[in-house]
Structure 1
């Protein structure tokens, strides 16, 4: 299977879909493609990896045009989820510096460092555009906001921002990790002091990918980094036990009654392959990552749609509720797939030159 061709096809399809639906379209799922929110943030982060690999300037310009139009329209809400697009905006601002971009970045910086709601445990409350669940901590926050905080803190030489990102990651680990199952819960209610949701697949992928990326940026020598790495490897040990023979994982990780799902597989493949390449993850997990990547590649159709990914998933009451979330072609599954493919290409390149 030609991973390079699939990578390009998926990137082009993702960009095409981001400009398919007009603002206000009532087609199911369309809002994920036209609204400034976390979904398109994950998609564009994946496309950015395709740009960095191919140096195809059209990839960057199409994302820039999309972002420029939304800045003109005004970002709907400053919150954890709408922060995700800043991973792409940082890169665009490096190449095409613009005072408008700096203004957006500084607004989110202030939100994350001082204005963003904290729970009694001092964790960033997982805030979204449309709802307010209050005092809830979600695995999603690690990928949607803590990655940006780390990147931005390093860019600005702002150690306080990097330290806050590490503090938040450690706190999310402590609140969400289940040492018995060696998996992460989707959420934590900091008012009732209890886990909420289940050991959700994509939530665990957010954690795997997020921990690897943050450790890449901050180094792995500090006591806190080693503690985070220890949690990561406990999770990976469990993931290796739960991986289906197909290479996929389930939408509820430890429930065979739930369906196999692509986005969790893509996110874990990305984290594992990248982690092994960087020396962050034990190389014994390379086969697990490669099997996940192979399963993912078989989910890309002729148009470049990544199939078999679940739709948006807030914290649910039980595993059956998670199992009722439908499959949908989404920006975030496209983006996670592109991230995994980018690491697959680096793995292939390394072998070709060895």
Structure 2
């Protein structure tokens, strides 16, 4: 890998941007007063859990309503905006689309530059928010969104890889593949390939998802470990296999969601589609096996439910419900998995969803964050001691998506 590749990329992209015409759309998507977005909505008005949680999230998130509020191009913002987009597709409420447009206008300037995005970081996390730009580009035909999409696609041309071609999770995490990265990059790249006829990108998506299973799957349980270090140099990596020590629920949740979302855009006749369906089936078998029989939920450390300190965790549970329900609904999985999803969803409502006196919803028991590094050793104690939050978007986003799949 050339030491100055990031600088060359920025220079090349700047020249390319100058050569591309940049027609302005010149107005909002519809006749809607965006000042209304700052007015709190009543979360008791919608009848379905998906929209009630979405309204609750919007009421708590001034950055989505107020263009003056600072924000970053982060994967959690992308997750919430994606959930909002799916709610809009179901309800056709123009106010929801106005939120999405405001985010796009705030984060992407007329030259296609993305606010706070640092391409030189070569972080897969930076790609997830890009999914919200496809619909904006389709509706507005504003070239700034196409330029931004092309820039994100260009990152993956420079993304450093393992010797077999697997994306490093970030430049600062050399030789490491994490399950989280499957969701951050693969659905975006698949939608880009489908939208702009980038046929080679489909091969790349399949390669990434197949390599993750190859390196991280435990043949005894069928579950996938959180991360893999090809160099075996990280303190958390097994010196023989390179894998991390434990199966983190949300890491597997990211991977499961990535698979069902990729299949939406993956060509029916592509030679690797059958392999992706087979991987999804193996994931579903393992996820179902480790579903808590009493609550229908899943544990923070998936395969150690009886161990002291372990707990039922909301974000992973929402992600698995979404993946199983969507897989069954789209016929990617056997329809019997819908029953497992429904049981899990019932457990989420019983254990994790709290209704406040004003009707606003809270989602409880969400692990804030977990990663792998020199000071994050991936031990059992590490995962169970990470902070637990209420209404973390890594939980509320998947809850909304799961609710939509179950028509709740």
Residue 54 of structure 1 is matched in structure 2 by: 91
TM-score for both structures, normalised by structure 2: 0.76
Superposed CA deviations along residues 167-195 of structure 1, whole A, max 9, x for unmatched, are 21111221222222201111100212510
Residue 27 of structure 1 is matched in structure 2 by: none
Sort the Cα spacing of 1:157 and 1:220 in 2 relative to 1 into closer, same or farther, 3 A: closer
Count, aligned residues: 333
Q: Which runs of 4+ in 1 moved over 4 A?
A: 20-23, 219-223
For 1:21 and 1:340, the matched residues in 2 are separated by: 22
TM-score for both structures, normalised by structure 1: 0.87
Q: Does 2:286 align with 1:238?
A: yes
Residue 43 of structure 1 is matched in structure 2 by: 80
Q: Does 2:135 align with 1:135?
A: no
- 1:197, distance to aligned residue in structure 2 (A): 4.4
RMSD between superposed Cα atoms in Å = 2.4
Superposed CA deviations along residues 247-294 of structure 1, whole A, max 9, x for unmatched, are 110011101121100111111111111111111111222211111122
Residue 153 of structure 1 is matched in structure 2 by: 193
Superposed CA deviations along residues 331-350 of structure 1, whole A, max 9, x for unmatched, are 221111111011011xx7xx
Task: Map 1:1-354 to 2 at 5 A.
Answer: 4-19=47-62, 34-72=71-109, 74-78=115-119, 79-112=123-156, 114-127=157-170, 132-192=172-232, 194-219=242-267, 224-244=272-292, 245-256=294-305, 257=307, 258-298=310-350, 299-302=352-355, 303-315=360-372, 316-328=377-389, 329-345=391-407
Residue 28 of structure 1 is matched in structure 2 by: none
Q: Which has the higher contact order (CA 8 A, sep 6+)?
A: 1
- 8 Å CA contact 1:306–1:333 kept in 2: the answer is yes
For 1:35 and 1:18, the matched residues in 2 are separated by: 13
- 1:44, distance to aligned residue in structure 2 (A): 1.3
Q: Structure 1 unaligned runs (5+)?
A: 24-30, 349-354
Higher helix share: 1
Superposed CA deviations along residues 177-224 of structure 1, whole A, max 9, x for unmatched, are 222220111110021251024211011111112112222322566553
Structure 1 stretch displaced more, 86-95 or 220-229? 220-229
For 1:270 and 1:143, the matched residues in 2 are separated by: 13
- 8 Å CA contact 2:80–2:397 kept in 1: the answer is yes
The residue matched to 1:288 in structure 2 has which SS?
Answer: helix
For 2:382 and 2:91, the matched residues in 1 are separated by: 40
- 8 Å CA contact 1:262–1:296 kept in 2: the answer is yes
The residue matched to 1:137 in structure 2 has which SS?
Answer: strand
For 2:268 and 2:312, the matched residues in 1 are separated by: 33
Superposed CA deviations along residues 22-43 of structure 1, whole A, max 9, x for unmatched, are 99xxxxxxx9x93211111111
For 1:22 and 1:50, the matched residues in 2 are separated by: 16
For 1:21 and 1:10, the matched residues in 2 are separated by: 15
- 1:229, distance to aligned residue in structure 2 (A): 2.4
